[in-house]
Amino acid sequence: MKRWPITFAIILPLAEIFLAALILAVPALLVFLNLENLAHGTGVAHLQFGQFSQTIPREDFVSFATQTSSFESSHLLTALNMPGFLGELIVDLPTAWPESWRPAGVSLESWRALIWPVFSLPAWLLVGYGVDALLGWRKLHWSVLLTGTLLCVIFAVVLVAGIAVDTFTSDRGDDGFLFCGLSLWSALFATLPAVWIRRWRSRRAEAKAARQAAVAEQV
């Protein structure tokens, strides 16, 4: 089995981190630099929005920049990294369950936009393994295929249940990212059961060919 030096198991996690940085970190850095410029070397930055004004102390520059940049991008980042919820749950169980733990002064949306891309790295790695296996670049252990299949089923069941109870068509109008995230990851995790099905069909074809060869030898 030919192995390529750079596989999707490497490409997908790296691409996810790069995309998260592009979506979140770059705008946050620009906001931070703008605050530094407005401060003019003092300890505060004064913002003016029409009749509304706000004073940001220097110690809050990072948190303000992070929350500002993640306000519009949090739904996109959580949809792209929805398996990160499992990592968040592991953190919450011993700390703040049933609430969601986050640092003081950081909104839940901003916190998830920051940590879900990190917590979802194992999921991107798993999907990369699935793509590699479909391309014939690696052979996966049954436990890896089982894990991916279970995750595919879980996300698909939650997606179907959400559609059944009209979760994604609520009057709030802010749940579309849930539908997109669940649909995306149901499809991505489907690469693992697809490998299993392909392996099963290949073994059936090999067994059929062996039987035909045995019959031909007897004739």
Task: Tell me what pLDDT residue 166 has.
Answer: 66
Q: What is the pLDDT along the chain (219 residues), one digit of tens a residue?
A: 555 567 899 999 999 999 988 888 788 888 888 888 887 777 777 777 666 777 887 777 777 777 777 777 888 888 899 998 888 888 777 777 777 777 777 777 777 888 889 999 999 999 999 999 998 888 899 999 999 999 999 999 999 988 887 666 555 555 678 888 899 999 999 999 999 898 888 777 767 776 777 666 665
Q: What is the pLDDT of residue 189?
A: 95
Using the CB atoms, write b or e for 162-196: b if 16+ within 10 Å. Answer: beeeeebeeeeeebebbbbbbbbbbebbbbbbbbb
- Classify burial at 107, counting beta carbons within 10 Å of its beta carbon; exposed 0-12, middle 13-18, buried 19 or more: middle
For 17, the token pair is 């981190």
pLDDT computed for residue 61 by the predictor: 75
Q: Which residues pair with 54 in a beta bridge?
A: 47
Quick one: pLDDT at residue 108?
Answer: 79
Q: Structural domain boundaries of the chain?
A: 8-218
Which of 64, 70, 84 lies closest to 113 in space, CA to CA? 70
pTM for this predicted structure: 0.80
